[in-house]
Amino acid sequence: MQKSPFLSENGVEGDDEREEEEEEDDEEEPRLKYQRMGGSIPSLLSGDSASCIAVAERMIALGTDDGTVHILDFLGNQVKEFSAHSAAVNDLSFDIEGEYIGSCSDDGFVVLHSLFTDEKLKFEYHRPMKAIALDPDYARKSSGRFVTGGLAGHLYLNTKKWLGYAYKDQVLHSGEGPIHAVKWRTSLIAWANDMGVKVYDAANDQRITFIERPRGSPHPEILLPHLVWQDDALLVIGWGTYVKIASIRSNLNKGANGTYKHVSMSNMNQVNIVASFQTSYYILGIAPFGDSLVVLAYILGEKDGEKEFSSTIPSRQVCVLYSSEKAKFLVMVYTPYFEALCAIISALSVSVPASLPIYLHGVTLFLTEATAVVTGNAQRPEVHIVSWNNDELATDVLPQLCRWTVGYIVSPKDVVIAKPRDAEDHIAWLLQHGCHEKALAAVEAGQGRSKLLDEVGTRYLDHLIVERKYAEAASLCPKLLRGSPTAWERWVFHFSHLRQLPVLVPYMPTETPRLRDTAYEVALVALATNPAFHKDLVSTVKSWPRVIYSVLPVISAIEPQLNTSSMTDALKEALAELYVINGQYEKAFSLYADLMKPDIFDFIERHNLQNSIHEKVVPLMIVDCKQAVNLLLQNRDLITPSEVVSQLLNTRKKCDTRYFLHLYLHSLFEVNPHAGKEFHDMQVELYVEYDPKMLLPFLRGSQHYTLEKAYEICARKDLLREQVFILGRMGNSKQALAVIINELGDIEEAVEFVTMQHDDDLWEELIHQCLH
């Protein structure tokens, strides 16, 4: 069993925060929920105090200190009132049908009332009476039997005489001290006195067993024994620190008229103690709880040390546990000597603050330091759920709650209704303890109302936001917010306020539900203003339907970033996409060209953007130089060769601009040899560098290059045939012939060269060169 923490002087629980955290982590979910009973209870107990209670299938009987018996419905509304006694009512008993109520009191009287007629019977015993039990079949039989006892030590069986006009008392037992408790089930009557527990068989008029009082247990007047019938054959006894369970088996045959046939002694009841164990606490009450037991325990505080039990509690019992047969009610009654417990028990009907010394742990009700107000000691009544083997049950007892409808916790000044917690209570507890994921799983599993998903979702998201788990919170939004546009918009703006909207954008719905335009615009701006999410902005702009938002606010948020350090390629692409959506194709082309998008040429053709290529020669050449050259040649009326060459020469981009120049000028020369004549000197160099085989055809086809520069370049690169051609064009035929004969060594080419020159002197030079 886990102990409750004690409060230190400064209000902090314990000395070690780690221990406190461990206790919180180990906290078990309570099995009951509490609500203060209303109706007539507040007014009834405002000037009086409850002393005992009994529960029937259809009503409740509440005894008070002034001797009154109140009959209540289950909402606390008074149905009847009997001024039965002149002193405190000590015990109450219903018959099984709930038609009669019997009461006994310190005034020495036993009073029986019919609940549906004016019938009333009053019996005087001249000594305080402490216990009463009606025959379960009191309303069905004419015998009118009940059993009662008190301080005189006599256990009386009261029976109506044969003619029905008088009653007689039969003393079933006496001489062993006061009668402290009595319970009647079928024909079996169990009672407790100072010596122990006895069981009497009313059908056979025979006492059938004696169970000795546990050794070392406090005197019964200090700590009362507690009896309860688990069923027709099991008697549960709680006394001191001991629990015993007696099995009483009988072969009695019941007659048709409800009487029992007498059998031989060999067929009498057989009694066996089927379970017996000692607890670590004093038992103040015990009752069946499904297949288990619920025990109200009294634990001595650490300061009590070796003190006797009698020195640490008042002279009367703290409380009694009661369980009726049919209604399965659990009732705990606090005597008037513990007035301080009223406020504590009453507090259970509202939220319990951390400072209040009450802890709900599993199905256990901890009243930590509850009696300290009275005695100054840390004494704690607790409710335990135990098996017959004294194994304390925790979560595995939960299924048994379906057999247990409702219970009543009664203090002198208040009555609190205790009910098994349902699925929604379970979910609420999980939320209170930060188990949001489990709460969500419970809702999704169909536990509780479907509307709970909204509450659980909101609480879960709030929790994740507090923990700064923004990405996790965002990923859960589709599941938690579902189709609510209002909820989605609220969280969109909340994430925006936290500057965490980019993590939510991938999960935002674009239809079913569709949000207001503003929500999408705010989301896109949030992506645009955070460089880490610029790539997400591109994908979002491409994937979101164009009709769900206006692009102008987004464009206006991005354009100021152009030509700044925050302008990334991804942001340029996103802006280009937005320009396209808005029909601003020229601006989009400019950005696409800077980004050197592979499909830029298709984009130009699709949107007729030839007029926009003026300043984008270099990026176009980088993307695809062949397509760029064709485009430039086709539109040389829009962009002249001079503009093209100028851009290529002056670019700062890292690219092979000379090669681009070569391709462009070569293609231009093939289209029109005169279009780029001012660049033919440059072309000589470019041919030498990139395509030497095409230099000679160029030299032959162009008239616009400088011969001396061309010859110098060819000589430097040792291009012999090109030198021969240039020397021939320069009129230096003899030097050209010398190159052919001496460098090329080709006599046939030399003869051909001389023949083409039509110069007789050149023939002599040929013969001269050949001879030498």
**Edge to edge, what strands does the sheet with 89-94 contain?**
89-94, 100-105, 109-114, 120-124
Q: Tell me the pLDDT tens digit for each residue of 79-92.
A: 999 999 999 999 99
Q: Residue 537: its pLDDT value, please? A: 96
Whose structure tokens read 């919180």?
A: 24
Bridge partners, residue 68, by sequence: 83
CA distance 273 to 246: 4
On the question of pLDDT at 180 being above 90, the answer is: yes
Choice between 369 and 37, residue whose per-residue pLDDT is larger: 37
Find out whether 54 and 60 touch, Cβ atoms under 8 Å. yes
Amino acid at 426: H
On the question of pLDDT at 766 being above 60, the answer is: yes
Q: Tell me the pLDDT tens digit for each residue of 428-441.
A: 888 888 888 888 88
407-411 and 331-334 strand pairing? parallel
Q: Tell me the pLDDT tens digit for each residue of 423-476.
A: 888 888 888 888 888 888 888 787 656 677 788 888 889 999 999 999 999 999
Output b/e per residue, 637-651; b: 16+ Cβ within 10 A.
eebebeebbebbeeb
Among the residue ranges 208-212, 266-270, 343-347, the one predicted with the least confidence is: 343-347
Q: Residue 28: its pLDDT value, please? A: 81
Choice between 392 and 38, residue whose per-residue pLDDT is larger: 38
CA distance 53 to 91: 7
Find out whether 569 and 596 touch, Cβ atoms under 8 Å. no
Bridge partners, residue 83, by sequence: 68
On the question of pLDDT at 108 being above 90, the answer is: yes
414-420 and 129-134 strand pairing? unpaired
pLDDT band at 681 (very low <50, low <70, confident <90, very high): very high
CB atoms within 10 A of CB 291: 13
Mean pLDDT over each residue of the chain, to the nearest integer = 79
CA distance 665 to 632: 11
Q: Residue 251: its pLDDT value, please? A: 57
78-83 and 359-361 strand pairing? unpaired
Could you tell me the two tokens for 433?
């303890």
On the question of pLDDT at 348 being above 60, the answer is: no
pLDDT band at 751 (very low <50, low <70, confident <90, very high): low
On the question of pLDDT at 17 being above 50, the answer is: no
Q: Residue 284: its pLDDT value, please? A: 78
| Backbone phi, psi, residue 9, to 5° | -65, -35
Alpha-carbon torsion angle 589, 592, 596, 602, nearest 10: -60
On the question of pLDDT at 352 being above 80, the answer is: no
On the question of pLDDT at 357 being above 60, the answer is: no
On the question of pLDDT at 380 being above 70, the answer is: no
Q: Is the pTM of this model over 0.95?
A: no
Average pLDDT over residues 362-386: 33
Q: Residue 764: its pLDDT value, please? A: 63
Task: Tell me if residue 376 falls in helix, strand or coil.
Answer: coil
DSSP secondary structure letter of residue 396: G
Could you tell me the two tokens for 58?
């259809």
Q: How far is CA 543 from the centre of its chain?
A: 31
Could you tell me the two tokens for 273?
């103690």
Q: Tell me the pLDDT tens digit for each residue of 535-591.
A: 999 999 999 999 999 999 999 999 999 888 889 999 999 999 999 999 999 999 999
Q: Residue 758: its pLDDT value, please? A: 61
